Every structure is written in structure tokens, then in C-alpha cells.
Structure 1
């Protein structure tokens, strides 16, 4: 396996407090916001939260950081936490936060109608708010889409015909870990290990982020790779000449792997009703304000996808199993190590 040594964008983002819609940073003379959001999501939050404030008068501040770091902060603060909402970018992280008792169970007809059943916690502890598909990106000059296994595209990349042609994300990426956890859930550990070993045997080039992966495909350094769909959309928007196309994986099988960005109301929040109101707004009338700028798919089936990603076409998605993503995460990490996937 070849590891491409390039500077990436991974690593913990320092915790930052940002004021939204006239609500400034605490300690600089501004009044306190109505809602405090701990978020691992870093995609244009200000615009969506500002729109929510303009419509409701409820102001929002957020602290940004890594999923695990913010969850540990919640646990350490306990009943004294100022957080009202915990927002993260992986279903497994949401499941883990709920399992550890950090999220309150909600009853909301609005959320139950807006969010598909497999994209929300059955107890109402968390709800998916934006959906991302992790699928195949490829160089159309080097790949005929017929080369991809239509039934199980992820497993098909273990075929020796892809030797020296693949780029993928590193083993520390939550995207990689959740994908492998889904393969364990779908196929069992032995078959999932066989698939990952096949990727390694094909001399997969490991990239530290999806943007570098797409740049490598565009430059002809590899022919295909696995990326979140919205990175393809962003790079195409910035560079219309980008020679990268998107292929929906496993359309004749289990479907394309998806994950979510979602949130739950913090157990013991001082403002649970306002926090619930923010969740309901994002999942309903605020869906497009929340997802369009980041090119993510809305979870609400009544919301139209942003035009650029709508051009990718409709696809069959793999049902999301948040418990598997969370409960099998450690096993996925062990499997990656056993397979020699760095």
C-alpha cells in the first residue's frame, strides 16, 4: 500500500465561540444568546442560524470542535453545561452520545414527519438534518462506469483489475470507519476484512482528505476513489473543468452508503423548548438554508436538493444503521489495522 504524503486538513479544530445574528462573543459586552450549540459541523452555520433568528427572534451561539472532544466536554460539564444542542457529523457519534445519556428524548410530530425513520433515533434523542452519500468518484478518461460492480461497488474495488488505480481516505477518518462498519454490518466481519484486504492489495493510495483525493483523480494519479458526494459538487463549482465524475455505488444491491449530520437536545438543557424549535425549523422550512451551501442532501423528502447535486441524479441509498456505525466503530478500526490499511 502506498501512502501519499500530503498536507491535509484533518485534526481537531480549536474550540471557538461565535456570535450569530447580532449576538456577540461572550465576554465582549454582548448579551448571552438564547441557545448554545456544541457543533462538530463546520459548514456555513452562520447563514442558517441567522435566518432562524430573523424568523423567531431566538439567538444562537455555537462552540466548534471535534465530535469526541465536544462529547467529552458535555460529560465533564454535566448538569452545569451551557449547551442546549449537540450537533455532529456522523450517525455513530449521535448514537454514542445518546447511549451515554447526554441527549434528551423528544416527542415531536414535526420531526417525525420530516425525518425518515432510519435517519432518526427511535426514542427521539437525535435527528438527522443533512445527508451525505459516500460513493465512487472517477476520472472519465480512465474509467468506463461499466467497470464498477453494480451489485456491490465497494467490494468490487477489491478486484485486482483496480490494482494501482485507487485513492481512498485514511483509516483515522470517521468517513472510512463508518463505511467499514457498514460493511461489517452488511457482510459480516470476515467478508468485510476480505474486502479491505483487497483494497490494500490493490496498492491503494491513502489521502488525508477528500479534496486531495479528487485532485489526484483529476490529475490522473489514480483512476477512482471513494468520496462524499458534496466534495465533488464543491470542487466542480470552483473548477468547472474538473475531470471527475460521480457514480452511485451498489445500485443493484444494498445501495449507496450514506451518513448524516444531525443533532439532539442536550439532557438538562436550560432551553429545551427553544432547542426543539431550532431542530424542527432545520428539518422543515429551514432545510435548504441548512444544506444547500454545503451541497448536502436534505433529509426531508419534501425539500428539493440544491440544483448542482440534483444533476447527479436520484439514487438508491443503503438504509442507515446508526447503532452499527457506533457499536461497530471499534471493530472497524481493528479490522482496518488487521488488514494493513493505514
Structure 2
């Protein structure tokens, strides 16, 4: 059985692509001259030379064949530097903006997008490869960031456990506070976990500033368990097939997790051992952008275009367990069957997130953890 890993911090496997040289970047990285910032975008089909440095989170992965084809087609060598997860990534970009860690970034999500733009770490670039799907997730009108993929953080249900217990499965956020689901839910801490932060934002979007604290108070009183990270929640506390003997049949995970729990030969969604509660989902969006002060801005633009190419978009689901931003890309058959996307996921304006994120986390901590 494949791993049920899905989007979020530590939700994707590390890359094995030999063409991507992973380097934990130092904070003070000195720059040397290359292509000037005033260079226009490369014409379609143009080739370059030298190295283009992709700064990303530590869960980036694409097929070796695609990386090799990119290097052959462009004449570039693609180097990867991974200073940490999504939150750490933005922090490092801000700290090193006067001596950028690289040329192009991938993995800034909508929880940190506005901060990255406000801090001046990005150079505007409107990719000709960005279609309507990518454009609808635009953070601003200048093109500082281009959407590459989306992932939906949702509560997952161990259907087998509920069937054996004779208890109806919950469906909504409100259901999770009901007495019949006492001591059954495990979530992750928004101060230490990307999916935990996404779920906190789902409750803010659902219940508003006047109601989300009361909601978490109800969850706390109903016995919600808080794990530090996704792996502990999913593999230790959850009762699902991949768990190590957990006792919680409700876990915070992703809409893309269930396909990786389905036994070989099962084709009926009704027989899947787990499912995502699509009325509890918050949509995460991951972006790419050209770094301000990049040594190779032309190469950086080519990387952004490449990440939006049909080949890369088709590779994203099984490599990084997220949905391609291009909705015309055919998903793996198991995803179409067992990982439908929510029709109306919860969302928040990135600027609202930036303005309130730290305060929300402090209030959540005081309310739930104490």
C-alpha cells in the first residue's frame, strides 16, 4: 500500500531526484553577478546556461525524468535549497532578502503569501503559462506569486471503526462537538503544524471572529486531542489502516489521503476504509515566484513556467500529494474515485491571514492548550 501522505508540513516524501542537489542554505549567502534584473522574460523556447537555484520547502519532489528534461530543454542546471517547511521558508526569505538564497521560490502558501509580498522578497512576473485556474488564486494584481497547486486540509474518518461501533459518521464541523464524538478527534497544533494552522483558519472562516473561540472551547470540552505534527496524529493516534494502534477514528489530514488507504482491487468508494469530510476543508494554495535580486531572473522565470507545464502539473499529485492548479490535468484514477475535492472549501483572504495569524495562534493556544 502506498503511503497516505498528503499536503501540509512533512506530508510529502523528500525528493530522490539526483538532479536536484539539496542544500540547506546558510542565512548569509553572498551573491555574485549573473543575469541582470532588467533582463526581459525569455522568449518561448529560448535556452539559457548556468545554474538556476530553486528555494523550496523540504517536501518538494518531482520525477527525475522531468527535471532532466527541463535541464536539457533550457540548458540550465537546477539546484534546490530547502531551508525548512512552508513557514520557515518565508522566514528565511525575509531574513536573507538583501542576499537572496536563490533565484526562484516554490512552496509559499496562502497563509504566508501576503507577508512575503509585503517584505519585498519577490519580483513581479506574470507567467504566460498561467491559465484561468492559476489566475483565480492570484494574491495581488502585480503577479508577485503564481499558484502552482492546491491542497485541501480536512478531517478524515475511519469508516471501519464507525461501522463496527454502530455510530453514524460525522459530516460537519458542528458535528465534531456533539457528545457521540467525545474523545474521538485528533488535530494538530497550529503553532507547529501547517495543517493545524489550516484547520484553525477553517474554523475562523466558518464561525467568524465572534464564534471561532467558542467553537474551539466546545471541541476542547469534547475531548479533542492535539498532536504536535501530522505524522504523530495520523500514524500514532488515528485508528486508520496505516496507524500504529491509535484510538482516535477522526483525524485532521487531507482530502487526498484516502486513496493511499484503499486496499488493492477495491474500486467502490463505499468500500474505502477512510474518507475526508468535505464540509470541514480549508484550501491551501502553494505558489511560485521570482526572488527579488535573483542572480538568474531569466532562469527563474523559466522555472515558474515549467512548474505550470502540463507535464509537471500531471506529475504533482503522485509526487507531492496535492492537486495541480490546472483543473484540466487528468488526476490519477484512484484520486478521481477516492479523493474528490470539496466544492466549497473554506478560504480566507491572504491579507486577513497575515494581519491576524499570530493573534489567532496565541488565542487558540490560550483556549485549547492553556
- TM-score of the two chains, using structure 2 as the length reference: 0.73
Q: In the alignment, which of 7, 31, 52 is matched to residue 35 of structure 1?
A: 52
Is 1:297 paired with 2:323? Answer: yes
Is 1:64 paired with 2:62? Answer: no
SS for the counterpart of 2:154 is strand
Q: In the alignment, which of 66, 87, 96 is matched to residue 77 of structure 1?
A: 96
Question: Contact 1:127/1:264 (CA < 8 Å) preserved in 2?
Answer: yes
SS for the counterpart of 1:73 is helix
Q: Cα RMSD between the aligned structures? A: 3.5
Do the aligned partners of residues 213 and 33 (structure 1) sit closer, same or farther apart at CA in structure 2, a change above 3 Å counting? farther
Mapping of 1:267-306 within 5 angstroms? 267-285=292-310, 286-306=312-332
Q: What displacement does 1:276 show?
A: 1.7
Q: Per-residue displacement from partner, 1:167-199 (whole Å, max 9, x unpaired)?
A: 111232122123212432443222111111122
Partner of 2:175: 156
What are structure 1's unaligned runs of at least 5 residues?
1-8, 27-31
What are structure 2's unaligned runs of at least 5 residues?
1-7, 25-48
Task: Count residues in correspondence.
Answer: 317
Partner of 1:245: 274
Do the aligned partners of residues 45 and 136 (structure 1) sit closer, same or farther apart at CA in structure 2, a change above 3 Å counting? same
Q: Per-residue displacement from partner, 1:235-268 (whole Å, max 9, x unpaired)?
A: 5589x9x984113422xxxx73110222211112
CA–CA distance in structure 1, aligned partners of residues 299 and 344 of structure 2: 32
CA–CA distance in structure 1, aligned partners of residues 22 and 227 of structure 2: 38
Higher mean displacement: 311-320 or 164-173:
311-320
Do the aligned partners of residues 105 and 25 (structure 1) sit closer, same or farther apart at CA in structure 2, a change above 3 Å counting? closer
Question: Contact 1:23/1:59 (CA < 8 Å) preserved in 2?
Answer: no
Partner of 2:336: 310
Partner of 2:195: 175
Is 1:188 paired with 2:208? Answer: yes
CA–CA distance in structure 1, aligned partners of residues 160 and 59 of structure 2: 33
CA–CA distance in structure 1, aligned partners of residues 201 and 319 of structure 2: 29
Q: What displacement does 1:227 show?
A: 0.7
**Which structure has the highest helix share of the two?**
1
CA–CA distance in structure 2, aligned partners of residues 303 and 80 of structure 1: 37
